[in-house]
Chains A and B, each alone.
Chain A
């Protein structure tokens, strides 16, 4: 690509001309990928571009149709998971793949012993070995705690320690920053620097472009199973990366729908308080308005909407919908009051993964599809499903496809369809585009604007500042359980929101 200093070190891992097809669909088409010791290589691409397939092949979970993998000069046609680990390849999956029922120390040590084909488990040496790696990285984790009791950030650290104890030469990290707060992200990046000094090759698989460009030296972009471009990260900027990923330019600007700012408020919240989560929260949303709510993870931003949706009923405060006071003691109350909620963890909270797109679409609005209050009106159900399948442009062979088979962006559209089918008066969304690729993101925001134009009130909880700027009329900043800033109109800019968050 270029004569950057990166070309000086020989790659520790090479995947050469990898081809992989699943029943006629080409997942990877002649992809070549290199990782160098002491470098962070960012592997970027939209959902379904083949990133995860490439990781699965390199880590031995899948067999390539053709091509080879070279690790430290040794060439393999394909690997088994244990061989890959022995060769020094470690993958830190998005879900970390830890054992929740075992202690941190055992989690760190166990997989290395599996790879060494040990028959006996040396319980006595577990803790000292785990302690050594934790000390070496200067971390502070309770080794005796069970993993299920850890925070997300500490689980990730446990997974990193586990990778290092097996003398990892290459560590793949799948969306490493998604679940972390900003401070946790910066301490992760500090740790990444220490790993580079140990000459570990790191591969970040991510959507988050700024972060990717901030830490990586090399960048590879895949699109639809093919290699689009690879080279030193310094040759790229956000715009060019986005363009390579999507194949088109994405305009990042403010694009608001019109609404009547003088109309009576659709939702008005007064003095809402939930002990330990948030206090004295008051705001109003008008029909057609899109309100943003932001704050750091743990600030109480999510709890406010979860409380309005009846998941954690508030201790005190009043909520009015269209001027009428409503009681929100349960989710049923909230749905009756006209609320819809798209949760942040759509996979576990928002969808039945093994059910079809059709069943999921209709699951929140069955009562609206009954004849004489008893029988399901099949014709009406079918037309609703068709309408949303087409309107939200869900990419799937047909509506009977299970949601599990969909990419992140398409799964999110199904959750949206589910709530839109119930025609809520107030739609609340938590991280509506987390884990969604750039192209789908724009389309999802367009769907929100279209619904607002129809008169729906929308509340978007998000920590994606450009997204808030792009779609929100007003933004509330939540800090330590209180609304500290309200930014409205032309003041809604990325710097204004960021200073509100930092204040």
Chain B
């Protein structure tokens, strides 16, 4: 016991330590293969490409902890962001107004998920698969199918705002200002998950729904709040995505939900529910982004990136299933010597 404990702590409650290790190995390998990898400009660009996935992943994390799975968050993200851009138009309206508008739209769509899932107790995957298609259809049919290049003034300005600029090898490496709100969101979600009863109720519900009900957790309310919150996070993510890509395309994001789910699962969240952490999720997002980035750097065609993400997801889930099988393996009562001695 005593020899195992420090190692177990290093490994982390959700195998975060293992993800860190894999991350380090990938970084070392990539640096050896291409020293450009460790340049500021490449690192900052990895961070930039991780911003939106991180925000979306935080929502997915909460759903997975509660034992559910959500595939509609990308549809909500683009719905909220695109409709906000369409309604506001290229003119004024400050960043706060845009954010509030998008969040209201995201919350409303998330609420639809929450109401259907909590009151009808339907499988979350089926419900969100349905609402996802529905949201996308409504977006294209009623709000717009046009690619919008003229973003509202505030967003256009934010798209180029950097918090840190470092000259690196002839060019300037820029760290986007969104790292600050994204980091704040991570801290907020971590705090909510570990220090509020609502956060603990997600873990409890994911661990054993019936026990959570018997313990008096308001499970219906908790689920409605959960999916609404995921809708809000998706809206924030969508708005960031539109801002960073400097255009609003209603066809964006939808289709990338697997990358996000893969990152969360890779970060140690159990697909069976009840387990997962913000730290692991952030590490998972980075790992996926670095692997995708590396594949480009070493010149592997982008079609293979999809295959790589799929393989990573299967790997992550496979490892979980194997370790679940190992812990459930029968432990016999006696060590062999004891039986012999008896």
Q: Which residues of A contact B (CB under 8 A)?
A: 59, 61, 80-82, 85, 91, 93, 97-102, 106, 110-111, 113-115, 118-123, 148-149, 274-279, 298-300, 303, 312, 479-482
Contacts and interface: CB of A to CB of B under 8 A. Distances in A.
Given A99-B211, A121-B194, A114 B203 contact: no
A97 B203 CA distance: 14
B214 interface: yes
Nearest to A86: B216
Contacts of B179: none
B195 interface: yes
A119 B196 contact: yes
A253 B330 CA distance: 37
Nearest to B273: A101
A93 B213 CA distance: 13
Given A121-B197, A121-B199, A298-B333, A101 B215 contact: no
B44 interface: no
B338 interface: yes
* Most chain A CB within a 10 A radius of its CB, from B196, B215, B270: B215
A99 B214 CA distance: 11
A81 B219 CA distance: 12
A123 B275 CA distance: 17
Given A298-B333, A480-B339, 16 more contacts: A61-B214, A81-B216, A98-B208, A98-B211, A113-B197, A114-B217, A115-B216, A119-B196, A120-B197, A121-B194, A122-B195, A148-B327, A276-B335, A277-B339, A300-B333, A481-B339
Contacts of A102: 203-204, 207, 274
Contact of B194 (A97, A110, A118, A123): A123
Nearest to B193: A121
A39 B207 CA distance: 34
B194 A99 contact: no
Contact of B216 (A98, A106, A111, A303): A111
A119 B195 CA distance: 9
A120 B207 contact: no
A115 B216 CA distance: 7
B197 A119 contact: yes
Given A85-B216, A123-B195, A482-B339, A97 B333 contact: no
Contacts of A276: 332-336, 339
Contacts of B339: 276-279, 300, 480-482
4 closest residue pairs by CB, A with B: A101-B274, A276-B332, A480-B342, A82-B216
Contacts of A61: 214
Contacts of A91: 214
User: Interface majority SS on B: helix, strand, loop or mixed?
Assistant: helix
Interface string B195-228: 1111111011011101111111100000000000
Contacts of B275: 101
B330 A312 contact: yes
A85 B213 CA distance: 13
Nearest to B214: A97
Given A99-B203, A100-B207, A81 B214 contact: yes
B340 interface: yes
A208 to B, nearest CB: 23
A99 B335 contact: no
A372 B156 CA distance: 74
A61 B215 CA distance: 10
Interface of B: 194-201, 203-204, 206-208, 210-217, 270, 273-275, 327, 330, 332-336, 338-340, 342
A298 B336 CA distance: 14
A100 B213 CA distance: 15
B158 to A, nearest CB: 33
Given A102-B203, A480-B334, A481-B333, A97 B215 contact: yes
A67 to B, nearest CB: 22
Contacts of B215: 81, 97, 110-111, 114
A35 to B, nearest CB: 20
A98 B194 CA distance: 18
Given A276-B335, A276-B339, A121 B200 contact: yes
Nearest to B217: A114
A56 to B, nearest CB: 10
Contacts of B208: 97-100
A101 B203 contact: yes
A97 B330 CA distance: 22
12 contacts: A81-B215, A93-B214, A97-B208, A98-B208, A99-B204, A101-B270, A101-B273, A119-B196, A119-B197, A121-B199, A298-B333, A482-B339
B205 to A, nearest CB: 9
Given A99-B274, A110-B215, A119-B197, A482 B342 contact: yes
Which of B201, B214, B327 has the largest number of chain A CB atoms within 10 A? Answer: B214
Contacts of B194: 121, 123
Contacts of B270: 101
Contacts of B199: 121
A300 B217 CA distance: 40
A496 B327 CA distance: 39
Contacts of A303: 332
A118 B218 CA distance: 12
A156 B255 CA distance: 46
A432 to B, nearest CB: 21
A480 B327 contact: no
Contacts of B204: 99, 102, 110
Nearest to A83: B216
A33 B17 CA distance: 55
Nearest to A275: B336
B217 A97 contact: no
A120 B192 CA distance: 9
A106 B274 CA distance: 13
Contacts of B212: 99
Contacts of A274: 332
Nearest to B210: A97
A121 B217 CA distance: 13
Nearest to B333: A298
